[in-house]
Amino acid sequence: MEEINNVIVRYGEIGIKGQNRSYFEKYLIKNIKDCLNKNKIVYDRIIRYPGRIMIVTNDKCLCLKKVFGIVSFSPAIKTNNDFEEVKILALKLYTKGSFRISAQRLNKNFNLSSNELNNKLGEYMINKTKAKVNLEKPDCNIGVEVMDHTYLFNETYPGVKGLPVGVEGLVTLDIEDKKDIISGILMMKRGCSLEVINKKNINIDKLFEYSYGKTVNLVDKPSGYSLALVKTMSLKNLKNKIDNKILFSPLIKNEEHIY
């Protein structure tokens, strides 16, 4: 079978950012490059399409699972916008058991609609493999996305969603226990970069795993350009501000329970 030569990256919340959308897309690309470089993944280039980011590479780029802003990604094979070539490649991507064709025509100049692609490719696959169609839980889901070229795949990996780290500015995470690590990750998911007060020397390696695009710095106190302080507070001592910093508490602790 042909080798993977592209990875299709999909985003969600970024797509509704209106006039600021390109800013978020470019920031996400910057963070993706940081992820690929730190994991020593070789790639040729990264291309921005409407609703998609394409990485030209032969690697599956599984490290993207920890890049905030990504909803899902699929290692794919690129071919021409020619139905004959598409159906031959779709057959090569079939593995076993029941199947489903999930086609999206993002390029409206392609002469077949998404439904027509689904139907024609499904008919071709049935004739060639005698396999049954299962739209709910197929053993093999063959994806087809038509853009400047057509990209086919049979694997899709979930991302961690959210916004790219860094688009919403810097906040200070004050770590008292391991629950504060979760608070920091949730703030990064909302696009914040972190600086960390870690007087108890708690292991913060998990923060580095999700901070692609920004460096997590250790500090003794909030820096002047930090926008807020992040802590895991209880309902009893919940405050709006500490040291003149806005206070964010992604995890509210009520006695022994975390919500």
Q: What is the DSSP string of 147-186?
A: SSSEEEES--EE---SB-TTTT-EEEEE-SSTHHHHHHHH
Q: Is the pTM of this model over 0.75?
A: yes
Residues 183, 238: Cα–Cα separation, whole Å? 15
Cβ(86)–Cβ(79) below 8 Å: yes
Q: What are phi and psi of 64, to 5 degrees?
A: -65, -10
Taking 90 as the threshold, does the pLDDT of residue 109 lie above it? no
Mean pLDDT, all residues of the chain: 89
β-pair type (140-146, 52-56): unpaired
Give me the percent of the chain exceeding a pLDDT of 70: 88
Q: How many CB atoms lie within 10 A of CB 150?
A: 25
Handedness of CA 126, 111, 81, 114 (dihedral sign): negative
From CA 253, how far away is CA 236, in angstroms rounded? 9
**In which order are the strands placed within the sheet that holds 170-174?**
217-218, 193-197, 170-174, 228-230, 245-248, 241-242
Both structure tokens of 175: 């770590």
Q: What is the pLDDT of residue 252?
A: 53
- Residue 107 reports pLDDT greater than 90: no
User: Judging by beta carbons within 10 Å of its beta carbon (0-12, 13-18, 19+), is residue 249 exposed, middle or buried?
Assistant: middle
The pLDDT tens digits for 189-209 are 999 999 999 999 999 999 999
Assigned CATH class of 6-158: alpha beta
Q: For residues 193 and 166, is the Cβ–Cβ distance under 8 A? A: yes
The pLDDT of residue 239: 53
Domain borders along the chain are 6-158, 170-258
DSSP conformation class of 126? H
Q: How far is the CA of 245 from the CAs of 180, 188, 229, in angstroms?
A: 17, 18, 6
- HSE of 224, CA atoms in CB hemisphere, 13 A: 0
**210 pLDDT more than 70:** yes
Task: Tell me the pLDDT tens digit for each residue of 171-192.
Answer: 999 998 888 899 999 999 999 9
Residue 114 pairs with which residues in a beta bridge? Answer: none
Per-residue model confidence (pLDDT) at position 254: 37
Is residue 247 predicted with pLDDT exceeding 80? no
With bands split at pLDDT 50, 70 and 90, how would you rate the model's confidence at 108?
A: confident
Residue 223 clears pLDDT 80, i.e. is over it? yes
- Section 17-46 average pLDDT: 93
| 69-98 pLDDT per residue, tens | 999 999 999 999 999 999 999 999 999 999
List of residues 6+ apart from 108 with CB closer than 8 A: none
Per-residue pLDDT at 1:
53
pLDDT tens digits along 113-137: 999 999 999 999 999 999 999 999 9
